[in-house]
Amino acid sequence: MNKPVLQWGVIALVLGLTACAPPPGTPPAPDADWGFYGGDAGGQRFSSAAQITPANVKTLKVAWTWSSGDMATKGEAMDRAAFEATPILVGKRLFVCSPFNEISALDPETGRQIWRHDPAIDTSMDYPNDFTCRGVAHWRDARAPADQPCAERIFAATNDRRLIALDAASGKPCPGFGAAGTVDVGAGVTLRRPAGMQITSAPVVVGGVVIVGSSIDDNQAIDETKGTVRAYDARTGAPRWTFDPLGRAGEGYRAGAANVWAPMSTDPARGLVFLPTSSASPDFYGAARKGDGRDANSVVALKAETGEIAWAFQTTHHDVWDYDVPAQPTLATITWGGITRPAVLQATKQGLLFTLDRETGAPIIPVEERPVPQDGAPGEALSPTQPFPVAPRSLSPNTITPKEAYGLTPWDRGACRKLIAGAQRGGLYTPPSTKGTLVYPFTGGGVNWGGLAFDPTHNIVFVNTSSALHKVTLIPADAVAAARKAEPDQEISPQTGAPYGAKREIVLSPLGLPCNPPPWGMLHAVDMTDGRILWEVPLGTTQDLVPFSQFFVRGTGTPNFGGPIVTGSGLVFIGAAMDRYLRAFDAGTGKELWKGRLPAGGQATPMTYVYKGRQYVVIAAGGHAKSGTKRGDQLIAYALPK
């Protein structure tokens, strides 16, 4: 047992001896904000708050709830919505966005709405990632008097490609920013269809520069919209710079996208912004984009003032698996090999965790280039190797045989065995094929946009993963239209300009459960001192997937969307799973200590804060359209009994 686990074990023992029953009154704690989407500018998702402990967490109760009202007002649009927001707390206000970009300020003690701004987006649009808003950003203008309107601003980016600046106190648009408080981020952008580009993650602000990415249609064409990152003056909204992740790909490289749809992070002291870039277009065939793709599928550090590249590190070469860098780069100070240094921790859809020097991008934990499967589709030019960190080991399984097929009965297990046997399966990085190739982990991860949490006191990463199979089948271009007509409910993308379209389907049993063996969702703890896995436990149950199944199958976990947070008392809080619970785990052992039933899916990352001496844990419970979890529109705040 390592030192951090021992430390937490002693704390838990002492608390258990002195607090076997909840005390009659909880002592007040120092107030603590959660001022950024990821807790701090670097996205550590750590709070020093320690009022809620492993000893008393079982007494958590709902302190307040707040509803955006979307269930009553948005109608059928809720079937294309995902409430993935993580609120922020700055001073005396909690700020949150709904999937439809309505920004609200709430009282942190009661959930009472203080103000609300509705940008009135068109809910008839069909965006590639549904209606989504993961968060907002707060900025204090150091040049402005504290009592001046818009001295403190909330920046929000919308699904319909606007960047909005609001006065944090009143919610009114800032008149000096853009046109009446709004900048049109999509101005001058040519889209293949009106909803082909949206903004789903929170803006970030460094100094006086506000920066936004975008989410762009996958698999539609070779000549897709470029994944340009844009920066604006935080006071005026004037354009400052743009950055195209494919700008250094070289002559003859024909592609688009490589956009930044996942959350970004910043290092204000170094003046850097860190971008997680996605794959170049189209996802599953890359003959027109020979080469690695340079800054696609990379962690890219830019100088925030100018947009100049400081460094870049690529996690997937010549991606034909939709293995975007999906999560916020986490800035942490880690100790590896006895040396402490500032780092960037980047988790990937493949279930890998890269640890990079924050100033140079060089791997702190060594990375090896290992040979990977070849034999791509005709004309394809795959990379002969891919990068693998030597530690930690992969957090997700990536090989499967028909004998490993899962099923609750011999009937559905046999069906899964046939599905697996009938596909191309060579392990991680096996290229898509006309026969159909198993992509494992599936394109939802491994790790997805929920990212990881880092405890700086104990040098430990907490991260959740999903495990499922995708089957990707290349379809000759002249057969795509017929395939789409024959299977209208399947995802079949044209990849216009390429010789192949692509069908992507999740590999499920007739009962609707994954065909690969469980656990299908896991929560892991990784010691960054040496890369060891301290513990890993299943995350979630099947009770809301197959009714009553939780009574005869256990330890399965579920695929999950959303991330963890960790607190100073040694608790990891996470929703994410498909069974509508917010859970608390012991950070030292991985033992589940508490769970609270949510009114809808909790596919969001929680946050915590201390206000007027009382610690709250808050999560958005609104469900996720693509996951099929129950839809809703509430924030739920938990706290210890008064």
- Kindly tell me the burial class for residue 107, based on how many C-beta atoms sit within 10 Å of its own C-beta (0-12, 13-18, 19 or more): middle
Query: How far apart, in Å, are the Cα atoms of 19 and each of 15, 26, 30, 174, 433?
Result: 6, 11, 20, 50, 59
**Chain-centre distance of CA 483, in angstroms?**
32
User: Where in 445-575 does DSSP place strands (E)?
Assistant: 452-455, 460-466, 470-476, 491-493, 500-506, 521-527, 532-538, 564-567, 571-574
Q: What are the structure tokens assigned to 26, written together? A: 């909880």
Q: What are the structure tokens assigned to 361, written together? A: 């991008």
CA distance 320 to 88: 36
- Kindly tell me the burial class for residue 319, based on how many C-beta atoms sit within 10 Å of its own C-beta (0-12, 13-18, 19 or more): buried
Q: What are the structure tokens assigned to 473, written together? A: 């089948």
Q: Provide the 8-state DSSP code for 479.
A: G
Q: What are phi and psi of 605, to 5 degrees?
A: -90, 130
Q: What are phi and psi of 135, to 5 degrees?
A: 170, 180
Looking at this protein, which amino acid is placed at residue 294?
Answer: R
Q: Check 292, 322, 324, 455 and give the catalytic one.
A: 322
Q: What are phi and psi of 10, to 5 degrees?
A: -65, -45
Looking at this protein, which amino acid is placed at residue 572?
Answer: V
CA distance 174 to 597: 39
CA distance 610 to 38: 16
Q: List the one residue out of 503, 521, 525 whose CA is nearest residue 513.
A: 521
Query: Does 322 qualify as catalytic in the annotation?
Result: yes
CA distance 348 to 323: 8
Beta-strand relationship, 265-267 and 229-233? unpaired
**Chain-centre distance of CA 365, in angstroms?**
23
Q: List the one residue out of 135, 245, 250 whose CA is nearest residue 200.
A: 135
3-state class (DSSP) for residue 287: helix
Looking at this protein, which amino acid is placed at residue 605?
Answer: T
Which residues does 618 contact at the CB level (< 8 Å), separation at least 6? 87, 94, 606, 607, 608, 609, 635, 636, 637, 638
Half-sphere exposure of 160 (CA within 13 A, CB side): 12
Catalytic sites, residue numbers: 322
